[in-house]
Amino acid sequence: MTTSIVPRDPVVPRLHPTRDILRAVNNADLRADAILQSIAFYAVEEDWQGLWNLADSLKREVSVLFDEQGLIWVDIGSTGRVALSPPTGSRIPFQLWIHTHPWDAYWSMTDKETLGITSGILEKALVLGHDHLVRTLHLDDEATDSSDTRLATNGGLMHWTAEAAMSYAALCEAIDVA
């Protein structure tokens, strides 16, 4: 069975009441506004734990894409993969791509392929895990010293930073200090 990827419109961020989100989750209504808009809301608010928890309640990977205008697209995949639908009306460069993994945050081979393909049109990406995330930033230049680690030494991935995983708690502390 093949499934076609359907172009999607942007999603307006809005946190729905918990009962509405749970009803949509329990009914497996993956395109319900309560789910899509709440995911977009968590992303805008940078509530990474809330976003991961909602994705986990779906038992699926979730992807959120912000374009140059700040518009948001949400895709919901399977337990092990989420395909990005063509974002109707989007403008590049994309500011941020976020997606969840079922437990641990890391750059999978599929993620790295996506980063390689989007090199030059995507600025930042995050993978969210159960209590931590990994981040990468696109840099136009090549690494100049050993402290400037990248996802690869050549090809499109040499422009993506390789950063250590960070817990959500440590991230909140870093933000509070700033």
Cα-Cα-Cα-Cα dihedral of 26, 28, 31, 33, to 10°?
-10
Q: Give how many domains the chain has, as a whole number.
A: 1
Identify the helix (H) or strand (E) that includes residue 40: helix 33-44
Inside any domain, residue 69: yes
* Mean pLDDT within 18-33: 96
Condensed to tens digits (0 to 9), the pLDDT of residues 40-51 reads: 999 999 999 999
Residues 6 or more apart in contact with residue 160 via CB below 8 angstroms: 115, 119, 125, 136, 137, 138, 139, 150, 151, 152
Condensed to tens digits (0 to 9), the pLDDT of residues 104-158 reads: 999 999 999 999 999 889 999 999 999 999 999 999 877 666 667 899 888 889 9
* Mean pLDDT within 97-106: 97
pLDDT of 1 above 50: no
Inside any domain, residue 121: yes
pLDDT for residue 146: 65
Inside any domain, residue 46: no
Inside any domain, residue 28: no
**Domain span including residue 65:** 59-177
* Mean pLDDT within 145-174: 86
Condensed to tens digits (0 to 9), the pLDDT of residues 31-73 reads: 999 999 999 999 999 999 999 999 999 999 999 999 999 999 9
pLDDT for residue 112: 95
